[in-house]
Amino acid sequence: MMKKQPVIAMAILLLAALLSCSPRKESVYRKSMPIMDTIVSITVVCESKEQAEKALKETFAAMDHFAGLINFYSDASELSAINRNAGTSATKVSPETFDVIEQAVFVAGKSGGAFDPTIGPVVKLWDFAGRKMPSGIDVSRALPLVNYRDIILDRKNSSVLLRKKGMLMDLGGIAKGYAADIAAASLKKNGILSGLVAVAGDIRTFGMKPDRTPWSIGIKNPRQTGERDEIIAKVRLTQKAISTSGDYERYFIADGKRYHHILDPETGFSAETCRSVSIVADTAVYTDAFSTAVFVLGPEQGMRLAKEMGFDALIIDGHGTTHITDGLKEKISFEKNT
């Protein structure tokens, strides 16, 4: 008896320890909604269905509100007001709109203008679904209007002015990532400790899956042969964001050449030296905008920028060669058939 007691006590302690770390009643709740012309999918890990539903509802509402502020196509958005007032007057905007524009200007500066949110006049000339390409003359007329240095930000008044008439701000290269960050903040505010927000290819993760393993994000093959998405690699992440910019999302092929929606602000034509760029960083606003920036800069300069920013990167260049940062090597597994 005397000898056995400590063993039983140990066993009870061990059992208690196991119970307290085991996933208990945690479940995974998932919901998708169309926002910003794309599908937003949110996954949360939570012990109560009511808490999960309330968090999801508030989070989708916050994203929807942001989407309304920066909708390029709606006359009622703050972004459209900024664009209408170009060359005329500063527009007072809400804190989110000011902040996303300020971040866009930051990325533009860091990338030497490879990312430029004033790319609007050039974007407007292209129609990828309709396979329409602009003339060189139209592009050369639009290019002088593309310059992020002509965005005048007044933080004190929370106002934005585009210096020249005809300028158009397009936040398509950063807004989805920003929205994913808004969602992560809203989920955390609602007491969610673990989740994954996917705004198309812009993904923010936090915490772990219920089995205490990291979230796993698939990277698509930019030159898949069939209709179905082919995954070439999986990246394991917790507390990180990842975005992929690719030349296979919106494109057409004419005379054997691929024209796609990531445009080089220097030429007004599609950037040519990458097929796909994935960036891993702490926030999705950075991964979204920098994946576009690195894509435009190309594999060498782009990789240099990613490293300088302390980001992880996977670049598939125009020849199909893979470039990868050391930090990503321990988080990524390539599929065997590629």
Measured from the CB of residue 282, what is the shortest distance to Mg ion in angstroms? Answer: 16
* Residue 228: φ, ψ to 5°: -75, 145
Restricted to residues 272-301, the positions that interact with ligand ADP (CB under 6 A) are 288, 292, 296
The span from the CA of 57 to the CA of 64, in Å, is 11
* Residue 24: φ, ψ to 5°: 45, -125
* 67 is a contact residue toward ligand ADP (CB under 6 A): no
Nearer to ligand ADP, 151 or 192 (CB): 151
Binder among 31, 236, 258, 261 for ligand ADP (CB under 6 A): 261
* 247 is a contact residue toward Mg ion (CB under 5 A): no
Q: Which stretch binds ligand ADP (CB under 6 A): 83-91, 135-143, 153-161, 259-267?
A: 259-267
**Exposed/middle/buried for 100, CB within 10 Å: 0-12, 13-18, 19+?**
buried
Long-range pairs for 178-181: beta carbons < 8 A, 24 or more residues apart? 178/66, 178/96, 178/99, 178/100, 178/103, 178/284, 178/285, 178/288, 179/35, 179/36, 179/40, 179/63, 179/66, 179/67, 180/204, 180/241, 180/284, 180/285, 180/288, 181/241, 181/283, 181/284, 181/285
Closest CA to 162 of 115, 94, 93: 93
Q: Percent helix, strand and coil across the chain, each rounded to 5?
A: 35, 25, 35
Measured from the CB of residue 189, what is the shortest distance to ligand ADP in angstroms? Answer: 26
Per-residue x/- mask for ligand ADP, residues 150 to 189, rule CB under 6 A? Answer: --------------------x-xx----------------
Residue type, 69: L
* 70 is a contact residue toward ligand ADP (CB under 6 A): no
Tell me the residue nearest to ligand ADP as measured from the CB: 172
CA 93, 99, 102, 103 torsion-angle sign:
negative
The span from the CA of 251 to the CA of 270, in Å, is 10
Per-residue x/- mask for ligand ADP, residues 106 to 145, rule CB under 6 A? Answer: ---------xxx-x---x----------------------
Binder among 288, 302, 311, 314 for Mg ion (CB under 5 A): 288
* 181 is a contact residue toward Mg ion (CB under 5 A): no
- Site for ligand ADP (CB under 6 A): how many residues? 19
* 80 is a contact residue toward Mg ion (CB under 5 A): no
**Cβ neighbours of residue 19 under 8 Å, at least 6 residues apart?**
none
Binder among 113, 117, 121, 173 for Mg ion (CB under 5 A): 173
Measured from the CB of residue 104, what is the shortest distance to ligand ADP in angstroms? Answer: 8
* 278 is a contact residue toward Mg ion (CB under 5 A): no
* 146 is a contact residue toward ligand ADP (CB under 6 A): no
Show the DSSP H helices in 244-283 as ranges: none
Residue 117 binds: one of Mg ion, ligand ADP, none (C-beta under 5 to 8 A by kind)? ligand ADP
Site residues for Mg ion per CB under 5 A:
173, 245, 288, 291-292
Site residues for ligand ADP per CB under 6 A:
115-117, 119, 123, 170, 172-173, 200-201, 245, 249, 261-263, 265, 288, 292, 296
